[in-house]
Structure 1
């Protein structure tokens, strides 16, 4: 007799930079920014005769009365608290609960007592045995999976996903990253040896997403361009595939390291393939901090000029920004702001340095007695928190400096200045967008995203002035319109995040320096900071 599986991607307690809570915040039905690959892949690994349902809690409420034999829950560390809440609620109802995914794999102790079955690692390698055990009622308490060859990864069942409420499709062409960044948990979960899908499989997945109506796709690789020869082959295939699309091309976005800018051929191919946005972990202009955490690929690089290389090829950049490294003193907040305002990067994902479980940084902090563990990883790792005791300032100084930096970065006038810089410095579009963005059938969720932007612009006098500045620059280079709209929606999401966390403070945003910031800890080690309210 066939079984049934209810797969859940839980919504975290608070918004994130990469979410889409802005839809609900501005009065629309909830939506998701990027389709969840984990639930769609697990659904494809289940036996064909199983009844599988996907619940994306970003979009729809969880059905706690669902008629299902098994409940599957996945998620990252920011979803950890909600994962446990959901698991406990189903177990109280007598359901058999399975937990897996990145958070469960890196912090198994935090979820082990909240599930009947724990899966550590990637499911593909053990899927046949795992589902046979479930079907026969002989499941184990815990499964540990090795890192599979990605040829074993099936075509995700995105037809089960709420695509109509999702902005971007998702394809993962590789897993893993060879770099050694001390604070990154990707290499602990997915390994330093990058594994690759075949070009044929990538194209099959893109065909499926295209048929579902997606005209934006996130390439969910941890570092898409790290293996140059392979990346060039994939990009050439994407270029040819995109050029042949009958109903408009697809705009790709992905994650790369800044050293890709040193390879003219790969940059040319990125533009030709339809890559329009990249996320780059810039982290900090403080080279001592980069060396400290082994982010070697960013050392000795003129970051601003390398970012410009992407713009020269018609590609916009989102930057990662971290404060709180061991070599960061109280001056780091002004240094980061000065750096950001010298760039054409509209959006920075700002946060304090954290030590995720199982990383070298976690081990180093634990060995030095500088790890804060109160409440577990779900409580101590977040956008505005850290599980690290800094060395050159107090935690209060770190948090207050972070709040000042965030408010200064996203003061409407400062955001507008960076968007205008992006418009002015953006080179011509390449590949499928060289004649501009060809029209396609606009999906309802895309129309609503524009509605979010309109409501943001009308939300106050500073926002209206921000748009006047941006639209004046846009009138000179209208071909940058789609990139500007994406930046504006991302800004709406930042506003949602800051308001949800009560982080906005106009008085702080107007200050030229962090108020009350006295350099360094006091002799007693206690805070010498005048606390910023709010």
Structure 2
């Protein structure tokens, strides 16, 4: 008996730094920053005779009259509200709903009443049983996956996805992270032992993305460079593949990657030109508190600059609200940011996510707050009662810091430093200048949104003229500068939607002595 599935990736509950909601807000067709790997992989895990359709709600509305036998919903904590709303709406219509993904795996009790079937953990080893039971119409209430070999992960069904409305394709080359940051839920879900997808499978998935028209992709790893020997082998394979497929890549790394000069050179040769790095804080005591040991005993400003010098743009994660963060932390974070060549920071208040050691500690101390946002992807909420400041002080300081960091003059200063130093230690040829004629429609539309930053106001216009003028004078930076300007537009859209953008606050906090992480001891 053939069954049919409607696989849904819900919209986020609010714009985030990593979204592309600004496209629709600017009058362009809706789109996403990254193609949704989860929905495409779930579709690939289903038997070949299942009839499957995928909905990415950010791109197109959910069809509540869809005739599928089963509604499958996946999502993260930042999608919790939409996940439950969509599930409830289908169940009121008599549909059977299956929910899985990261949030279902980490916080199952929050979703249990909103679905008929729950899938917790990774799905590769249990998919056969799940889909057989769905076909028979007799599924269990819940299924629990373990941590499978990534050799079992099928190539995603990109043929079912709206690829023309995603800026970046997505390939996952590993799962897990060896570090133990107290606030992070990655190791609770995916484990500390990093598992790697066979390199031949990665290259095959890149071939599929290329065939779909992608010329840039996100390597969806929590720490791409954690295991350097394997990473170098993969980078060499990607560099070889890129000789005939000039694709660019974005990923997440930890700052310890800068200790390996060969690794950085190989990243650049493989087309890796933008990375997210969890900087978190220059406050030494806060780094120790949260177990971010890889950020200690180094000068964070210098290590970030190594990446930029090689030709790798950095987006920095920044967190405020650790127990060792006093009221001066906002000035300290601003001082640190303005010393770097990092244009974009994802700034958020410390959040205790369920299943993390931080959640357990804060709960045991009686400092867990309820009723607010549960993700660090936004700056205006925390579920932790701070030890060192009131919630009003935290909120005001966060708003001030957001406005200060993204004030046109401050953002422009970091952009100019980035452009000036980008790739000055690069080995090998420089990137080709931006060729607008080769861009896909969504890429041209995103570029236009970035160009329209100059229309936001007079300060933005002055900043844009200086930044774009510098990029034109250094053509190797034009493509990445265009992407960063779009990311800036998204951040400003996010702040505006959260009632966080108040230009009168866009003044640097009072200067404070900066305490960057201590230098490494002499050998």
TM-score range for the pair, normalised by the shorter chain length: over 0.9
Quote how far apart the aligned CAs of 1:159 are. 1.1
The aligned counterpart of 2:207 is 207
Deviation for aligned residue 1:211? 0.6
Report what 1:386 is aligned to: 382
| Equivalent position of 1:292 in the other structure | 289
Indicate the residue corresponding to 1:459 in structure 2.
456
Structure 2 residue 423 is the aligned partner of structure 1 residue 401: no
Q: 1:264 aligns with which of 261, 271, 274?
A: 261
Q: Which residue is equivalent to 2:482?
A: 485
Whether contact under 8 Å (1:423, 1:474) holds in the other structure is yes
Match in the other structure for 1:524: none
Instruction: State how 1:45-444 maps to structure 2 within 5 Å.
Output: 45-245=45-245, 249-374=246-371, 382-428=378-424, 433-436=430-433, 441-444=438-441
Q: How far apart are the structure 1 equivalents of 2:378 and 2:22? A: 19
Q: Provide, for residues 263-282 of structure 1, a one-character-per-residue CA deviation record: whole Å limited to 9, x for no partner.
A: 01101100111110010000
CA contact (8 A) 2:436 2:444 kept: no
Question: Can you list the C-alpha shifts for 1:142-182, whole angstroms capped at 9, x where unaligned?
Answer: 11111111111000001111100110000000000010000
Structure 1 residue 458 displacement after superposition: 1.6
- Alignment of 1:3 with 2:22, yes or no, is no
CA contact (8 A) 1:7 1:52 kept: yes
Structure 2's unaligned 5+ residue stretches are: 512-523
Q: C-alpha displacement at 1:382, in angstroms?
A: 4.6
Distance 1:378 1:291, change over 3 A: closer
Deviation at 1:81, TM superposition (A): 1.0
Deviates more, 1:470-479 or 1:82-91: 470-479
Q: TM-score, normalising length from structure 1? A: 0.93
Q: Is the 8 A contact 1:117 1:142 kept in 2?
A: yes
**2 CA distance for matches of 1:292 and 1:416?**
33
- Specify the SS of the correspondent of 2:125: helix
For the Cα contact (< 8 Å) 1:6–1:68, is it kept in 2? yes
Q: Taking structure 1 as reference, are residues 383 and 229 closer, same or farther at Cα in structure 2, changes over 3 Å only?
A: same
**Runs of 4+ off more than 4 Å:** 377-382, 428-440, 511-514
Query: What's the CA shift string for 1:261-315, capped at 9, x where partnerless?
Result: 0001101100111110010000000010000010000011101110111112111
With 385-394 and 202-211 compared, the bigger mean Cα shift is at 385-394
Aligned residue for 2:466? 469
Q: CA deviation at 1:379?
A: 8.9
Kept in 2, the 8 Å contact 1:177–1:187? The answer is yes
Helix, strand or coil at the partner of 1:280: strand
Counterpart in the other structure of 2:19: 19
Q: How many residues align?
A: 510
SS at match of 2:438: coil
**How far, CA to CA, are the matches of 2:242 and 2:450 in structure 1?**
28
Superposed displacement of residue 13, structure 1: 2.2
The answer on 1:501 being equivalent to 2:506 is no
Q: Distance in 1 between matches of 2:309 and 2:487?
A: 22
Q: Residues 380 and 387 of structure 1 are in contact (CA less than 8 Å); yes or no, is this contact kept in structure 2?
A: no
**1:309-347 alpha-carbon deviations (Å, 9 max, x no partner):** 111211111000000000000000000000000000000
CA deviation map 1:205-229 (0-9, x unaligned): 0000001000001000000000010
1:417-452, CA deviations, whole angstroms, 9 ceiling, x for partnerless residues? 100010011125556754556787321001111111
Q: 1:256 to 1:330 in 2, by over 3 A?
A: same
Distance 1:378 1:286, change over 3 A: closer
Shift of 1:373: 2.4
Q: Give per-residue Cα distances to partners, 1:112-144, cap 9 Å, x unaligned.
A: 000000011011110001100111112000111
Shift of 1:380: 9.8
Q: In the alignment, is the contact (CA less than 8 A) between 1:10 and 1:58 conserved in 2?
A: yes
Matched-pair contact (CA < 8 Å) for 1:79–1:378: no
Shift of 1:478: 2.1
Aligned to 1:181, the other structure's residue is in SS state: coil
| Residues in 1 aligned to 2:20 and 2:201: alpha-carbon distance in whole angstroms | 28
Cα distance change of structure 1 residues 67 and 378 upon mapping to structure 2, 3 Å threshold: farther
**Shift in alpha-carbon separation, 1:62–1:371, aligned structure 2, 3 A:** same
Separation in structure 1 between the aligned mates of residue 278 and residue 83 of structure 2, nearest angstrom? 27
Q: Does the aligned pair in 1 maintain the 2:55–2:62 contact within 8 Å?
A: yes
Is contact 1:185-1:356 (8 Å) kept? yes
Q: What is the aligned-residue RMSD (CA, Å)?
A: 1.6
Are the structure 2 counterparts of residues 200 and 431 from structure 1 closer, same or farther at C-alpha, using a change threshold of 3 Å? farther
1: CA distance, partners of 2:206 / 2:272: 14
Per the alignment, do residues 154 and 511 of structure 1 end up closer, same or farther by CA in structure 2, a change over 3 Å counting?
A: closer
Task: Return the offset for 1:381.
Answer: 8.3
Cα deviation, residue 503, structure 1: 0.6
Q: Deviations over 1:449-504 (max 9, x none)?
A: 11112222122111110112213322432221111111101000001101111111
